[in-house]
Amino acid sequence: MLFNSLDFLIFFPLVTFFYFVLPHRVRWVWLLVASYYFYMCWNPRYALLMALSTLITYLSGLLIHRANQVSDAVKRARLRKLWVALSFTSNLAILFCFKYWDFFWNNLEAVLALGGIALHKPVFDVVLPVGISFYTFQALSYTMDVYRGEVEAERNPFRYALFVSFFPQLVAGPIERSKNLLHQVHERHTFDAQWARSGLLLMLWGLFQKMVVADRVATVVDTVFNQYTTMPAWAIVLAVFLFAFQIYCDFGGYSNIAIGAAQVMGFSLMENFRQPYLSRSCGEFWHRWHISLSTWFRDYLYIPLGGNRKGKVRKYLNNLVTFLASGLWHGASWNYVVWGGLNGLYQVIGDILRPAREKLCSALHIPTKTLVWQGVRVVVTFLFIDFAWLFFRAPSFSTALDILAVALSGGVAAGPEFTLGLDAPELKVMALSLLALVVVDGLNAAHIQVRDYLLRLPLPVRWVCYLVCIYLILIFGIYGPGFSESQFIYFQF
């Protein structure tokens, strides 16, 4: 069930209505049933897979809690590590089988073929379960949080199941932490009109990002990437530039709808995007982009590897390993690994060159505190990040190199039949919607919260703004055949 579908437009108000009407003691049961129904609308059988991951991590939490009661310190430490290891191993094994099986065997076949050894891949033909990377990481974070003593082990298996399956953020995040969401499952939520209005407005903005901006930009991006051998270089550069905004509005739109939907019901989810393209360095970008995932890798991989506590070389190695793992998390393909590696390499090189850069700016008397200089840094950072997006968007690493080669060679001259997939009026709508996005992000970055400002307007003016937003989405939103909804990009991860 997609957020931009008619089904969700019916499902969400009904779930919210009965959530607040039902007695507090059964509300969580209603949400659990609704969450599993939400997931089973895609494929009922794969709900069993999510239930299995939930059961494994739930039991691991109880076993770690029991191990904490052991008086012998050596035995206690050994048991705690054993249950954590089993939880991670079993969950990651499930993820491997469903997401990385083909990738692993295809690469193993290729390596062995170099030595003249033929290997036939075992047949394991399955569909990648929607959201498996998200709910697996969320469940694993609970295991680690219990191990670290940051949360108590949840005794009720069904309340814990709601934490893993909470429908607003189930299939594409934010990847919530047990420290934030699990205790909210126990809390009594009363309907707050102001809180609900704010959540609905955030959902409306998310729908605008997805349907008006992302899906319209996708037409240009898909047209160019599917026909790159017949495209001029400027069209390829434009498509890579636009893809940065497509994926931002697509995934950021999903996150905003998820956060807003949860807020309507009284839940608070973590922020997932914070004006990422206004970052002044690649390191800052990853503090603003997909925050729930980047902090997950920081807390559960980078820091356990040693973080920056074991010298510069180890710090850089840990950084690269973390970003390579992040790239592999996104997809079982080398282009994702290269994308992650590039983002890690940017930060390593940036950190190495920082002293020299600061000395050069000082020697040239460049006023680094000025708005102009900060603007230059934003543009340069965007260019580096956008170049890496080429490898993310291309269907394979070899295709990304081909696209890059065509762009560098100048491409093909645009003929009379050349098209970007949109006519002139549609291109104008795209440009205006991108401008609206930039303005809103700029205002929010300047601590002028557009949503809070709208909510303070007089009631008649506020409703005019609401109706205008709804009208823009209905009229300028992109629909498929028969007004069907388009899938979100991150559903494939």
Q: How far apart are CA 453 and CA 458, in angstroms?
A: 11
Neighbours of 275 (CB within 10 A): 18
Say what angle helices 312-330 and 334-363 make with each other, to 10 degrees: 140
Contact 32, 158 (CB under 8 A): yes
Q: How far apart are CA 315 and CA 372, in angstroms?
A: 32
Q: Phi, psi (5° rounding) for residue 411? A: 70, -160
- DSSP one-letter code for 483: G
Q: Kindly give, in sequence order, each residue whose CB lies less than 8 Å from that of residue 271, ignoring residues fewer than 6 positions away.
A: 174, 259, 291
Task: Using the structure block, give the residue that is written with the tokens 């069907």.
Answer: 484
Q: Catalytic pick from 183, 189, 330, 365?
A: 330
Q: How far apart are CA 53 and CA 61, in angstroms?
A: 12
Total length of the chain: 493
Please give the helix or strand (H or E) that residue 461 lies within, else none: helix 459-476
Dig out the tokens for 262 from the structure.
């949860």
Q: Where are the alpha helices (DSSP H) in 167-311?
A: 178-186, 193-207, 215-226, 233-264, 282-285, 291-297
Query: ∠ CA 469-470-471 to the nearest 5 degrees?
Result: 90
Neighbours of 451 (CB within 10 A): 18
Contact 37, 166 (CB under 8 A): no
Q: How far apart are CA 274 and CA 285, in angstroms?
A: 9
Contact 203, 261 (CB under 8 A): yes
Q: Kindly give, in sequence order, each residue whose CB lies less than 8 Å from that of residue 465, ignoring residues fewer than 6 positions away.
A: 454, 457
Dig out the tokens for 294 from the structure.
């980047």
Contact 207, 196 (CB under 8 A): no
330 classed as catalytic: yes
Q: Phi, psi (5° rounding) for residue 229? A: -70, -15
Say what angle helices 157-165 and 24-40 make with each other, to 10 degrees: 50
3-state secondary structure of 362: helix
Q: Dihedral sign for Cα 301, 305, 307, 313, please.
A: negative
Would you please indicate which residues are annotated as catalytic (active-site) residues? 330
